[in-house]
Structure 1
Amino acid sequence: MTAQAGPGPAWTADALARQAVAASGLGSLPGPLLDDLMAGSTRLWVPAGTVTHREGDTVPHLELMISGLLKFYVTAPDGRTITVRYCRRGALMGVVSLFAPHFVMPASAVALTDTALMRLSPARARSAAARELPVAQVFLRELSERVLGFMAEIPGSAFASVRQRVARHLLDLAAGADDGGQTALLVAWPGASPELAVRTTQQELAEAVGSVREVVVRILRELREAGVVRTERDRIVVVEPGRLAELAIWNPGS
């Protein structure tokens, strides 16, 4: 006989929460299954700069991004960090912690902007997956996407040049419109192509790509001279996103 989670309080399905659910794999669930899974969930407000999870944590968790921008990163013994995932609205986090025996958090997570999360009950999620095939399929798809995503990070992190990693990181930051202010869409004049302003410092950029500030400063200078980006006091403006995307591609034959 399969254990079932007891009834919990109804979840707050406001407009932002509904948008986040629709953007996630949970959006495919029938209403009753979704309501049962989300029952007892709690909304969290995470200020920018807050570490939400640390490498080595063992507590199971399941969270849904409502708004903001959060990154997962690993840290080398010498203090350098490499970003392995960005999470925006609709991202599910922690599914692996529900099913991996002896789970240990492999990375840390920090909010890059003020962030809203919905924290679900791990026990309720496990019970729902054991009882309901649609719920199990949602989690299987999420785990499959994470495996493919992390496998794609291997060549990008190990073989790409620092220049390619810088270009890719800027595009990653600029990819989301609902990120709580991390990026801004700029139009210099009517009819002009839009520019993306990424709020990050040269030091933060260096840490994200696993390099040092001096190297990143040189690369940004080259990109600026080529007309691809424009650097300002507290942000980097992507003037030519298409050209930056071409620079971000790792080509095994190059």
Structure 2
Amino acid sequence: MDVDVLKAIEVSHLHGVAPDSLRKLLSEAQRKDLPARTVMHREADANPHLEMIVSGVVRVFVRAPDGRTMTIRYCRSGSLLGAASLFASDFSLPASLQTLTATKLLSLSPGSVRRMVNEDPKVAVALLEELSERVLTFIYEIPDSAFASVRQRMARHLLDLASEVAHEQVREGPELDTELVVKASQSELAEAVGTAREVVVRILRELRQEGIVHTGRAGMVILDPARLVQETRWNIGS
């Protein structure tokens, strides 16, 4: 098993599964290397799937009829995607999944996962822990969205804006640059997160000093999306 896969398993809910069961679970798994801005699954997809992020950042979002989007989860290394699709009757994916950065995935066989759930209780417990965490995360999102600090709201808004720009660039052509760039003024950011421009200036200065963003003529470049994701409380454990 590749070293990067082992590291991802160590921080996932599969870390407690015995080696023999883990080998069976991953026996038919396939690696996937996806470029930034790839839509992995679209809303209403009914296909069962279970994928583990080996590296990269994935955005889970919903889209309104007028085209606006709202991100409901950012996923990092070790995150399991699609557990509900294996067990929910009449499943229909309620959101879309898009890579924010170049992402490495391990796509597990739904049949192998279901067999191991019946064979090894620890596999079942791992998926129950994953599903329980997802439920709690979505519940916590409600107060966190309302009561998060300005820096947390800024972090999420920057990721959302970068995602929207990336979506538009994909439609225009795949040859465009793959950097996550936010093209918004400080005043626009302040209005979006409900604060003063001076507060936005201070937070951006902190993010620059920490090596998370870089500002230039092209806009604000997100240098470290994973660290920006960590700023958002509703992503703890994702």
Length-normalised TM-score, structure 2: 0.72
Q: Which has the higher contact order (CA 8 A, sep 6+)?
A: 2
Partner of residue 232, structure 1:
215
Consecutive unaligned residues in structure 1, runs of 5 or more: 1-12, 174-197, 206-211
Q: Which of 95, 120, 125 in structure 2 is aligned with 1:137?
A: 125
Q: How does 1:1-254 map to 2 (within 5 A)?
A: 13-157=1-145, 159-160=146-147, 163=150, 166-169=153-156, 199-202=180-183, 215-216=191-192, 221-225=197-201, 227-230=202-205, 232-233=215-216, 234-235=220-221
Whether the 8 Å contact between 2:11 and 2:77 is mirrored in structure 1 is yes
DSSP 3-state at the match of 1:235: strand
Which has the larger helix fraction?
2
Report the CA distance between 1:75 and its aligned residue: 1.1
CA distance in 1, matches of 2:111, 2:26: 11
Q: Which has the larger radius of gyration?
A: 1
Aligned length: 198
- What are the ranges of 5 or more consecutive residues in structure 2 without an aligned counterpart? 161-178, 206-213
Deviations 1:55-114 (A, max 9, x none): 110000000000011110111222211111111111011100000000000110110000
Instruction: Confirm or deny: 8 A CA contact 1:156 1:165 kept in the other structure.
Output: no
Aligned residues: percent identity? 37
The answer to whether the Cα contact below 8 Å between 2:56 and 2:77 also exists between their aligned partners in 1 is yes
Rounded to whole Å, the distance in 1 between the matches of 2:98 and 2:180 is 16
Question: What is the CA–CA distance in structure 2 between the aligned matches of 1:97 and 1:169, rounded to whole Å?
Answer: 27
Classify the secondary structure of the residue corresponding to 2:92. Answer: coil
Contact 2:190 2:197 in 1 (8 A): no
The residue number in structure 2 matching 1:183 is none
Query: When the two structures are superposed, what TM-score results if normalisation uses the length of structure 1?
Result: 0.68
Q: How many angstroms apart in 2 are the aligned matches of 1:237 and 1:45?
A: 20
Q: Secondary structure at the match of 1:103?
A: coil
